[in-house]
């Protein structure tokens, strides 16, 4: 779904005085719940287009019977948020396949010197072209972090990733991470990206280090994100210590002993959930997991096209909805997704979930859920606001 600023779609800039009604399947102004069969009435003046009212289409026709109606497709909303990306993998070829095989491809890509600031710049350009300005990006390279903190095209959170599976390395890695984050945080600018922290996964960061990193993030009020419960292999690794992921880790010299509990419960037991992290993927969860997440206000970022490409399973949207867990959307990397346009992930989720996913819930997740995942205040488009604060999903 192409996203364009609402004034471009309604063509109001050269129309002089008058009113127009932008109609869409779902309309959201950031307040309350999105409306189905919604409308945004826009007041036009020379060079000005401002919001008069957000309502149902029936109300708009009744109140403004002479206003011209412009069909805007699926939705009108504040700009969407891509809450999970890996911009430094933008030059990686789309590599579908089992999750464990994909991880090997990522490692090979990085060892080839292709993961870094050059790729991130291409990713920023692609996101800007898609109309995305707010992101959550996982960063593995200092030069990339410095670039993201200095650019003006995007805002959001740049999460510094930590990969350290050996317990004996915990003290040294923790000390280095604290120093590195302090240096990055000194580069933050008002209106720019914030620095966050991302322990990679529960099985690639040792238990003692995971606990210390989470406690540090909470104390410093750092945004925290972690990939968890992504694949069936991860669940098998935790419960039984077997399977393709267990074998892959053992071959790499990072043997991981079964925890005997599900990955989300493992994070809870280590005290990581108490820090209120954003969890990425969260495909393989049960009711007990969801109760733990809602208790701490954690947000889960859904990456449907990546999940499908890596054979991770079907996202349990109904389970999360039942317990009131907040959900956001992300594209993941270009290695597991064909592009960085998060509206395509919303469309994929609607297609996969069918009647289980109401379009209003999907739209809310793409906007408000994304801001909440990044610890940011969601926008609210009120009467008198510029119509340019809204976008139309064609």
Tell me the per-residue pLDDT of 158-186, one tens digit each, with 9 for 90 and over: 999 999 999 999 999 999 999 999 999 99
Instruction: Looking at the structure, tell me whether residues 360 and 387 fall in a common domain.
Output: no
With cut-offs at 50, 70 and 90, classify the pLDDT of residue 141.
Answer: very high
Q: What is the pLDDT of residues 273-286, one digit of tens each?
A: 999 999 999 999 99
pLDDT at 93 over 80: yes
For the sheet with 134-139, list strands across it: 81-85, 134-139, 155-162, 194-199
Q: Enter the tokens of residue 306.
A: 């990546």
pLDDT bucket at 135, cuts 50 / 70 / 90:
very high
Read off the CATH number of the domain in which 23 is found.
Answer: 2.30.40.10
Same domain for 357 and 213? yes
Whether pLDDT at 14 is above 70: no
What is the reported pLDDT for 1?
76
Alpha-carbon distance of 47 to 39, in angstroms, equals: 22
**Number of domains comprising the chain:** 2
What is the dihedral sign for C-alpha 331, 335, 337, 339?
positive
pLDDT at 375 over 90: yes
Q: Are residues 224 and 263 in the same domain?
A: yes
- Is residue 292 a contact partner of residue 266, using CB atoms and an 8 Å limit? no
Do residue 100 and residue 182 come from a single domain?
yes
Instruction: Give CA–CA dist 335/333, Å, rounded.
Output: 5
Q: Please name which of 78, 136, 138 lies closest in space to residue 106, comparing C-alpha atoms.
A: 138
Contact at 8 Å (CB) between 322 and 288?
A: no
Q: Contact at 8 Å (CB) between 301 and 84?
A: yes
Specify the pLDDT at position 12: 60
- 91 and 74 in one domain? no
The confidence band for 15, taking pLDDT boundaries of 50, 70 and 90, is low
CA distance 29 to 383: 10
Q: Are 232 and 361 members of one domain? A: yes
Q: Are 60 and 21 in contact (CB under 8 A)?
A: yes
Instruction: Give the Cα separation of 239 and 302 in Å (integer).
Output: 23
CATH number at residue 260: 3.20.20.140
Whether 230 is a known active-site residue: answer yes
In tens, the pLDDT along 212-223 reads 999 999 999 999
CA 369/CA 378 separation, integer angstroms: 8
pLDDT of 103 reads 83
Residue 144 phi/psi, 5° resolution? -65, -40
Cα Rg of the chain (Å, integer): 22
Confidence of residue 2 (pLDDT cuts 50, 70, 90): confident
pLDDT tens figures, 287-321: 999 999 999 999 999 999 999 999 999 999 999 99
Instruction: Let me know whether 184 and 291 are in one domain.
Output: yes
Query: What average pLDDT is seen over the chain?
Result: 95
For the stretch 314-364, pLDDT in tens is 999 999 999 999 999 999 999 999 999 999 999 999 999 999 999 999 999
Q: Which domain holds residue 285?
A: 81-373
Cβ atoms < 10 Å from Cβ of 138: 25
Are 51 and 10 found together in one domain?
A: yes
Confidence of residue 102 (pLDDT cuts 50, 70, 90): confident
How far apart are alpha carbons 346 and 366 in whole angstroms? 7
Instruction: Specify whether 316 is located in the same domain as 210.
Output: yes
Quote the CA–CA distance of 300 and 339 in Å, as a whole number: 21
Residues of the chain with pLDDT > 90, as a percent, come to: 89
Contact assessment for residue 232 and residue 295, using Cβ atoms and an 8 Å cutoff:
no
Confidence grade of residue 267 (pLDDT, cut at 50, 70, 90): very high
For the stretch 215-253, pLDDT in tens is 999 999 999 999 999 999 999 999 999 999 999 999 989
Residues 85 and 67 occupy one common structural domain = no
Q: Are residues 109 and 32 in the same domain?
A: no
**Residues of the chain above pLDDT 70, percent:** 99
Q: What pLDDT does residue 123 have?
A: 98
Catalytic residue (choose from 126, 161, 230, 348): 230
Average pLDDT rounded to a whole number, residues 13-24:
82
Exposure of 7 in the CB half-sphere (CA atoms within 13 A)? 18
Separation of alpha carbons 158 and 110, rounded Å? 19
What does pTM read for this prediction? Answer: 0.95
Average pLDDT over residues 106-129: 91
**What are the φ/ψ torsions at residue 338 (nearest 5 degrees)?**
-70, -15
Distance of CA 47 to the CA centre of its chain: 34
170 and 256: one domain?
A: yes
């Amino acid at each position: 779904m192409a996203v364009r600023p609402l004034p471009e779609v309604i063509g109001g800039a050269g129309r002089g005085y008058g009113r127009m009604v932008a109609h869409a399947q779902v309309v959201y102004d950031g307040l309350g719940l999105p409306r189905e069969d919604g409308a945004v009435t826009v007041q036009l003046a020379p060079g000005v287009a401002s919001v008069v009212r957000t309502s149902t289409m029936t109300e708009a026709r009744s109140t403004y019977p002479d206003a011209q109606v412009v069909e805007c497709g699926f939705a009108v909303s504040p700009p969407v948020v891509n809450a999970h990306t890996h911009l430094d993998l933008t030059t990686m070829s789309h590599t579908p396949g089992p999750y464990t095989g994909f991880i090997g491809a990522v490692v090979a890509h990085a060892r080839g010197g292709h993961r870094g600031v050059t790729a991130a710049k291409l990713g920023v350009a692609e996101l800007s072209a898609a109309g995305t300005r707010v992101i959550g990006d996982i960063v593995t390279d200092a030069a990339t972090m410095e670039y993201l903190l200095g650019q003006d095209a995007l805002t959001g959170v740049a999460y510094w990733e930590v990969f350290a599976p050996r317990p004996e390395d915990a003290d040294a890695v923790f000390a280095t991470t604290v120093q590195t984050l302090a240096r990055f945080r000194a580069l933050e600018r008002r209106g720019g990206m914030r620095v966050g922290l991302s322990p990679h996964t529960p099985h690639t960061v040792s238990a003692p280090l995971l606990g210390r990193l989470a406690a540090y993030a909470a104390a410093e009020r750092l945004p925290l994100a972690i990939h968890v419960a992504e694949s069936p292999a991860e669940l098998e690794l935790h419960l039984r210590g077997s399977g393709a992921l267990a074998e892959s880790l053992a071959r790499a010299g990072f043997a991981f002993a079964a925890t005997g509990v599900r990955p989300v419960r493992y994070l809870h037991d280590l005290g990581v959930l108490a820090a209120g992290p954003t969890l990425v993927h969260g495909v393989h969860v049960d009711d007990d997991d969801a109760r733990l997440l809602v208790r701490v206000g954690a947000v889960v970022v859904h990456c449907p096209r990546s999940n499908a490409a890596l054979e991770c399973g079907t996202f349990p949207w109904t389970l999360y909805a039942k317990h009131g867990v907040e959900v956001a959307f992300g594209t993941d990397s270009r290695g597991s997704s064909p592009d960085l346009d998060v509206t395509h992930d919303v469309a994929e989720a609607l297609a996969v979930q069918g009647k289980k996913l109401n379009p209003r819930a999907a739209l809310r997740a793409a906007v408000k859920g994304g801001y909440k995942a990044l610890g940011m205040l969601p926008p609210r488009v009120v009467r008198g606001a510029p119509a340019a604060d809204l976008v139309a999903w064609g």
